[in-house]
Amino acid sequence: MIDLGGQRIVVTGAAGGIGRAMVEVLSGFGASVVACDLDEADLSFDGVAEAQRFDLLDDKAVEAAAKRICENGVPSAIISNAGWTRAETLDDVTPEALTHELNLNLRSAARLSQAFLPALRQREGGAAFVFISSINALSHYGNPAYAAAKAGLIAWMRAVATEEGRHGIRANAITPGSVRTMAWDHRIERDPEILGKVGALYPLRRMVEPAEVARAAAFLASPLSSGITGTVLPVDAGISAGNLPFLEQIAG
């Protein structure tokens, strides 16, 4: 059983589908969750111990938020969960889209971790970063700018793990497969059958649930993973294990 009693854990993108599951799962394991999102986000749901509203794309706001959070107690874990994409293929990647998706999915998480590092280095017992990347970082499934940013996030995680381990700071990444959240709404509008079609591509024959990603993050944030750092944990219903549609074609 994961026990996060007495642990203060920060979650970004807390109002989204995976973010809400993070709050529910972490608080269910006993953590005091600091839920972070934009000013307009709804953070008034069960499991939120403290709400912090700021824009991850605003460096000064990020630094100020990290300072406010640490004044109430240096957190034991930071879960960088916020992310977003709409540029599905290379033809969709305008200069504006490239800048926005790289900033939101990579730079913001990097800057957030930098803002917390000075306090985490002084925390007795160490601390953990969990970066929510994507299977798009491991192989190409579309969304080129998002994929590049999420691949960069894994590289950043490894830098943190390597350079900050001397301070008792661990860093790991999770690479979720397709997760049924609001991010799929625009695709469903285009093709109401898309969830079934995509699910059939996975060895488990389904998409990943938000709570499954959240439980993996809870493990990596917990003392149970005290010897694990610098790793990438796929939570992807098996899609990164092999090419099932190809196998089905050659096997008849």
What positions carry a catalytic annotation? 146
Task: Look up residue 49 and give its two tokens.
Answer: 């111990």
| Cα–Cα distance measured from residue 83 to residue 105, given in angstroms and rounded to the nearest whole number | 5
Q: Order of strands, edge to edge, in the sheet holding 127-132? A: 48-53, 32-37, 8-12, 77-80, 127-132, 169-176, 232-235
- HSE-up of 15 (CA within 13 Å, CB side)? 13
| Cα–Cα distance measured from residue 29 to residue 216, given in angstroms and rounded to the nearest whole number | 12
Give the Cβ contact number of residue 143 at 10 Å. Answer: 21
Task: Look up residue 3 and give its two tokens.
Answer: 């026990």
Q: Is 90 exposed, middle or buried (0-12, 13-18, 19+ CB in 10 A)?
A: exposed
Chain centre distance of CA 81 = 3
| Cα–Cα distance measured from residue 79 to residue 136, given in angstroms and rounded to the nearest whole number | 19
Q: Which of 22, 82, 34, 74 is nearest to 58 (CA)?
A: 82
Q: Which of 126, 108, 105, 125 is nearest to 117 (CA)?
A: 126
Q: Which of 145, 157, 159 is nearest to 232 (CA)?
A: 157
